[in-house]
Chain A
Amino acid sequence: MNERFQSIRQEIMDGIEEISSSKAVYEFKKQFLDSKIGKIGLLMKEMKNIAPEERASFGKGVNELKEWAQVKFAELDEKMKAKELELRYETERIDVTMPAVENKTGNLHPITQMRNEIIDVFAGMGFEVFENKEIENDYYNFTALNTPKDHPARDMQDTFYLSPDFLLATQTSAAQIHTMEEKKPPIKILCPGKVFRSDDDATHSPMFHQMEGLVVDKKITLCDLKGMLDVFVQKIYGEGTTTRLRPSYFPFTEPSVEVDVSCFECGGKGCKLCKGTGWIEILGAGIVNRKVLSNCGIDPDEYSGLAFGIGLERATMLKYGINNIKLLFESDIKVLEQIDNN
């Protein structure tokens, strides 16, 4: 009996030497441990034929053999699997410096990004967003904004006409009027939109984007305009950016100012970007002209307002160092992919 156990043991020991894969381990193990066909399994089945007095020691011997074999096969299996894993890793060796698989995400247009950034800042200050019409009525674009037919300010803007009364909006300011006609103070609105002027060269595009801001409430002053724009430029161009106001002229504001920011490239020391002046012109603004308020049915003795208009192309070009406005409208993927959403 013991010889049989011993020979199975030997058979396993010998067989193990030949084994070289975990699959072979499985097959080899089956030859011994399978309850139906395995050699050790069959020994178990012989139990009923064994004389009762020998059964105990036979059973013990079979169990010992079985346990021994299980341990052996487990060890072997582990060894084979480790070897195979190593081999698998080896065959899957790669050159990690090879190019990545592309995972393309597009970008919002640089102007949309700039627009969103500005909206975010002013939304926090309580400004709602109203989009302008691209096709405007002469009244809203000019007359209501204190620019009557013979006004020299009409020269400042070369207007595209569509009919005697309709034209392509030359400024987003017209949206102010529409809003003020419908909404009574307190008003805080931003009006982004496309505007059009008959100009076409390296720094002018016949279509461009503006963002108009308007506040109408009680006791609004030039100091409030300055305070608001200071916050705005610090959010957009960074802490420490300051503004400078200087006189200008727009028919719909009085006083009118041009607003410069301290150069965000050189911090005001003077560089190529600011043409050595330390300042960069970014927007026009002012206190809303009393006539404009009256035209919209708002009592200028009770309320006052401030307004500002930002050219988005200019702001965008300054931010990214784009030198030709045409690049913004050419949709060259090589350009668009450079300006990541932020």
Chain B
Amino acid sequence: MLVPLSWLKEYVDINVTPQELEKKLFSCGFEVEESWEVGKDISNVVVGLVEECEPIPDTHLHVCKVNAGEKGSFQICCGADNVKAGGKYPVALVGASVYATAKDHKTVEGVMTIKKGKLRGYESEGMLCSGVELGVSEDMYPGAGYNGLLVLPEELSPGLDVKPILGLDDWIYDVSITANRPDCQSILGLAREVAAVLDQPLKEPSYDYHETDVKKEGFTVTVEAPDLCPRYIGHYVYDVKIAQSPLWMKRRLALVGQASISNIVDITNYVMLEMGQPMHAFDSEYVEGNAICVRRAGDGEKIITLDEQEYELNSNNLVICDGVKPVALAGVMGGLNSEIRESTQAVLFESAKFARDNIRKTSRALGKRTDASAKYEKGVDEYATVHAMKRALHLIEELGCGKVSSTHVDVNTGNSIEPRIMKVSMEKVNNVLGIKVPEKEIIRILGNLNFAPENKGDELILHVPAYREDMDSYPDVAEEVIRMYGYEHVTPTFMPDALVTMGGMNVKQKKELKLKKDLCGTGAYECIHYSFFSPADLDLLRLSEDAPERNCIRILNPINEDLSLMRTTLAPSMLGAISRNQKKGNLSGRLYEIGKKFIAKELPLNDYPDEREVLCIGIFGENESFFTLKGMAEKTAESLYVKFEYEPATKPYLHPFQTARILCEGIEVGYLGKLAYPIAEKLDLRTDAYLLEIDLKTLSELPSGKASFEPLPKYPGESRDLALVMKRNVTCGQVEKCIQSSCTYVKGIKLFDVYEGGQIPADKKSMAFTLDFVPGQEPFEADSVDHFVKKILKNLKNQLDIDLRS
């Protein structure tokens, strides 16, 4: 919210510098996001009296002798058509800073510094300025809009700084207002806080006005939706004379960036800025049926708003209607049909309170945000509703732009705007804070905040103003006290009365961290990707229409389609990461993510879905292979104290013959494999990529071992190499499994050679293994291992038709 210092001063005497005021606001809960002097770009510009003014032959220029008081007297060339001897104008001295304008002398193109110059052979030591060159518009100073010199009043002495004269020494604060303080969304509201923090009285604006005897006979207001409109005040104003607003009002509007339109419209805007209450004025002539009705719109009902946009409404939208049709979209914008025109002779003023949730929904649904809707969304209090109408009527009289009738209609659901009584214990207030704020201070602070505290021992009786809807209980009072008393009084303590608790991570969290660190040990970097992805990602994976991964939870209001589905697999995000890396020239690398996939029990959601932790690994580069990734899978198993088994499998996005499902205790827990080439091509990958996913939640539900110590074998073991010949479709895993189940003394099976070729039958292959036999409590007999090998070979023959290579 933009707040001009000069406007604040209307309501409170400010006895500190603009910078100190900013600090005070900050300390009591109003962060000033930015602040600046109105004339921050203007310096060294003073009042200049043109004593001599001679035309330069054959040009539109004049050469002037300018008296700048104690700054000296200068020869200045000037091209403006309104320069004349005896006139007083702003003069930018050499070294001054002013705005540079384009050829049209209207468009500001930047800031410039005035230098000595020469024009047509005439020395020029400075520049006589227009309003635009000083950043002053017609609304801020009369005559400043003229495309020529800004004419200053006769009575000013040459040499005076023009900034205070033109209001360029004013300050603007951009204050952020927290959601609990809608009452501060106005200059007056903030002025209340400033008064409290500066220990100064608040000077309320004038609310008085005089009603004439004139009535708008038969005029009625009905509120058919009191839940959405708890208060509606209407007042009829006649003998309206549409004209320009006075300069002081235009100037204030201009300072906060609000264009001046006409006196009536400006009053509504001014009151909204001043009081925080949106106002509306209807041209009474266009209000048919001598009535106002506040109701929900009918389905399909239409309205054209002031900005000439047409909207189709439904029963969620609140409209203000006359006897026949909608004349305003409640709380958002007025209707075009009843707007204030040059010809307007009578108006109906509206000051109303609407349900904030309803205005927000309408504003969102129609994509229409206005200053009024923004205020309503945050909440307007009825205190302001009542006072804003009074203030508007006062301004009608002050500006002399109409007469206030005695037709005043106030539809009220019964809320009082009298202060609420609230009782609080000072001890409880101090117990929240942990310090003892002196009673005197508490009373002073709460008095400054208009709570009119009455002191009864430890108990305080507070009269909470109606605009402080946020005040509910003693912690609220504690906050009021400490933000004014100062947070620097809060001294550190460490829960002297608290009980001891045991801290730290639980087993699951520790396991996960260990796994992450172990994966880092394999050279992989941890990644974090968004929990949502795109429908296109599912297509990229070439998943079939009925694939379970397509059963995603959908975000109803996603930022865009690419971020619209909750992940059911982490693979697409990982592919995205690999692709981005390759585009940046990182052609090899290892990445992993532990994130969640979301499995709905039913759609649409009406229960918590299953959030399952998944490990996803993606590796790429010339040195990577299925087996380097498998090594990482094994590392994972080792980290989690489980054992994995692998079986050939297929996935629509992986290589048909380099893919395996991962099993643990016979249960499928994941997969790994090489990325299918067409997908790699689509992603412009320059090196092969491999993917793995393991459902960690499933794994965590399976039994796992733990770190334990097994004594080293007492007796030496023996190794045997076996070259085995088998059909080509027999897998290494099958062989290993068969060997393992044949002999419990086998503690290691290591494949060291695979051969296909001339020395063995064409349909066969040879695999050579080293088997490590480790004895138990007793040493092996001389021929024990030979017996084991015999048994193993027998089982291999029987189960897999495997022979020893001769």
Chain A positions near chain B (C-beta within 8 angstroms): 104-109, 111-112, 116, 119, 122-129, 131, 133-135, 137, 149-153, 155-156, 160-163, 165-166, 168, 186-188, 194, 196, 198, 200, 206-207, 209, 215, 217-224, 226-228, 230-231, 244-249, 251, 254-257, 287, 289-290, 304, 328-334, 336-337, 341
Q: Complex formed: what's the CA distance from A211 to B181 in Å?
A: 27
User: B500: which A residues are within 8 A, CB to CB?
Assistant: 126, 186
User: A152: which B residues are within 8 A, CB to CB?
Assistant: 179-180, 182, 356, 377-379
Residue in chain B with minimal CB distance to A304: B432
Say yes or no: B555 contacts A161, CB within 8 Å: yes
User: B577: which A residues are within 8 A, CB to CB?
Assistant: 330-331
Say yes or no: A329 contacts B473, CB within 8 Å: no
Residue in chain A with minimal CB distance to B592: A106
User: A122: which B residues are within 8 A, CB to CB?
Assistant: 503
- In the assembled complex, 15 residue pairs joining A and B whose CB atoms fall closer than 8 Å, in A order, are A116-B513, A126-B500, A134-B596, A135-B553, A152-B180, A155-B377, A188-B501, A222-B478, A223-B492, A224-B434, A254-B473, A254-B476, A255-B432, A257-B487, A290-B473
Pick from B26, B491, B526: contact of A246, CB below 8 A. Answer: B26
Task: Report, nearest first, the 8 A-B pairs whose CB atoms are least far apart.
Answer: A221-B434, A223-B434, A247-B29, A150-B357, A255-B479, A227-B492, A104-B523, A249-B178
Say yes or no: B503 contacts A108, CB within 8 Å: no
* A223-B492, A227-B493, A249-B178 given; A162·B555 CB < 8 A: yes
Q: Is the interface of A mostly helix, strand, loop or mixed?
A: mixed
Cβ distance A197 to chain B, nearest Cβ, rounded Å: 10
Say yes or no: B557 contacts A128, CB within 8 Å: no
User: A104: which B residues are within 8 A, CB to CB?
Assistant: 523, 590
Q: Complex formed: what's the CA distance from A163 to B601 in Å?
A: 13
Pick from A109, A219, A244: contact of B527, CB below 8 A. Answer: A109
* A108-B526, A188-B501 given; A194·B182 CB < 8 A: no
Q: Complex formed: what's the CA distance from A155 to B181 in Å?
A: 14
Any A CB within 8 A of the CB of B589: yes
Cβ distance B517 to chain A, nearest Cβ, rounded Å: 7
Given contacts A135-B611, A187-B501, could you give 11 more A-B pairs where the C-beta distance is less than 8 Å? A106-B524, A108-B517, A128-B503, A160-B558, A206-B559, A222-B478, A223-B490, A255-B478, A329-B528, A330-B580, A336-B525
User: B431: which A residues are within 8 A, CB to CB?
Assistant: 219, 221, 304
Say yes or no: A333 contacts B591, CB within 8 Å: yes
Cβ distance A101 to chain B, nearest Cβ, rounded Å: 13
Say yes or no: B608 contacts A228, CB within 8 Å: no
Chain B residues 19-39 with CB under 8 Å of chain A are 26-29, 31
Residue in chain A with minimal CB distance to B181: A249
* A112-B516, A244-B487 given; A188·B179 CB < 8 A: no
User: B497: which A residues are within 8 A, CB to CB?
Assistant: 217-219
User: A135: which B residues are within 8 A, CB to CB?
Assistant: 553, 566, 598, 605, 608-609, 611
Cβ distance A228 to chain B, nearest Cβ, rounded Å: 7
Say yes or no: B556 contacts A287, CB within 8 Å: no
The proximity string for B residues 502-534 relative to A, scoring 1 for CB distances below 8 Å and 0 otherwise, is 111110010001001101111111111111100
Say yes or no: B179 contacts A155, CB within 8 Å: yes
User: A228: which B residues are within 8 A, CB to CB?
Assistant: 494-495
Q: Complex formed: what's the CA distance from A163 to B604 in Å?
A: 6
Q: Complex formed: what's the CA distance from A162 to B553 in Å?
A: 7
Cβ distance B682 to chain A, nearest Cβ, rounded Å: 19
Pick from A107, A129, A255, A334: contact of B505, CB below 8 A. Answer: A129
User: A162: which B residues are within 8 A, CB to CB?
Assistant: 553-556, 566, 604-605
User: A249: which B residues are within 8 A, CB to CB?
Assistant: 29, 178-181
Say yes or no: B490 contacts A106, CB within 8 Å: no
Say yes or no: A198 contacts B178, CB within 8 Å: no
User: B80: which A residues are within 8 A, CB to CB?
Assistant: none
Any A CB within 8 A of the CB of B499: yes
Residue in chain A with minimal CB distance to B510: A129
Q: Complex formed: what's the CA distance from A188 to B503 in Å?
A: 8
Say yes or no: B506 contacts A128, CB within 8 Å: yes
Cβ distance A10 to chain B, nearest Cβ, rounded Å: 52
Q: Complex formed: what's the CA distance from A230 to B494 in Å?
A: 10
The proximity string for B residues 720-753 relative to A, scoring 1 for CB distances below 8 Å and 0 otherwise, is 0000000000000000000000000000000000
Any A CB within 8 A of the CB of B475: yes
Pick from B379, B491, B517, B556: contact of A226, CB below 8 A. Answer: B491
* A106-B590, A161-B555 given; A328·B525 CB < 8 A: no
Residue in chain A with minimal CB distance to B359: A150
Q: By CB atoms of chain A within 10 A, which of B435, B497, B521, B554 has the most?
A: B497
Q: Complex formed: what's the CA distance from A214 to B32 in Å?
A: 30
Residue in chain A with minimal CB distance to B502: A126
Q: Complex formed: what's the CA distance from A217 to B501 in Å?
A: 11
Any A CB within 8 A of the CB of B661: no
User: B589: which A residues are within 8 A, CB to CB?
Assistant: 333
Cβ distance A268 to chain B, nearest Cβ, rounded Å: 14
Q: Complex formed: what's the CA distance from A177 to B503 in Å?
A: 19
Q: Complex formed: what's the CA distance from A162 to B519 in Å?
A: 34
Say yes or no: A186 contacts B491, CB within 8 Å: no
Chain B residues 596-628 with CB under 8 Å of chain A are 596, 598, 604-606, 608-609, 611
Any A CB within 8 A of the CB of B390: no
Q: By CB atoms of chain B within 10 A, which of A168, A226, A247, A331 has the most?
A: A331
Residue in chain B with minimal CB distance to A209: B528
Say yes or no: B559 contacts A198, CB within 8 Å: yes
Say yes or no: A332 contacts B586, CB within 8 Å: yes
Cβ distance A283 to chain B, nearest Cβ, rounded Å: 15
User: B473: which A residues are within 8 A, CB to CB?
Assistant: 254, 290
* A152-B179, A331-B591 given; A221·B29 CB < 8 A: no
Q: By CB atoms of chain A within 10 A, which of B179, B378, B529 has the most?
A: B179
User: B432: which A residues are within 8 A, CB to CB?
Assistant: 221-222, 255, 287, 304
Any A CB within 8 A of the CB of B584: yes
Q: Complex formed: what's the CA distance from A153 to B559 in Å?
A: 21
Residue in chain A with minimal CB distance to B609: A135
* A150-B356, A160-B555, A222-B434 given; A128·B504 CB < 8 A: yes
Q: Complex formed: what's the CA distance from A150 to B586 in Å?
A: 50
User: B140: which A residues are within 8 A, CB to CB?
Assistant: none
Any A CB within 8 A of the CB of B433: yes
Q: Complex formed: what's the CA distance from A222 to B483 in Å?
A: 12
Any A CB within 8 A of the CB of B482: yes
Q: Complex formed: what's the CA distance from A128 to B580 in Å?
A: 37
Cβ distance B565 to chain A, nearest Cβ, rounded Å: 10
Cβ distance B78 to chain A, nearest Cβ, rounded Å: 41
Cβ distance A294 to chain B, nearest Cβ, rounded Å: 11
Q: By CB atoms of chain A within 10 A, which of B493, B521, B566 has the most?
A: B493
Any A CB within 8 A of the CB of B498: yes
Chain B residues 257-299 with CB under 8 Å of chain A are none
Pick from B178, B501, B554, B592: contact of A186, CB below 8 A. Answer: B501
Cβ distance B422 to chain A, nearest Cβ, rounded Å: 14
User: A123: which B residues are within 8 A, CB to CB?
Assistant: 503-505
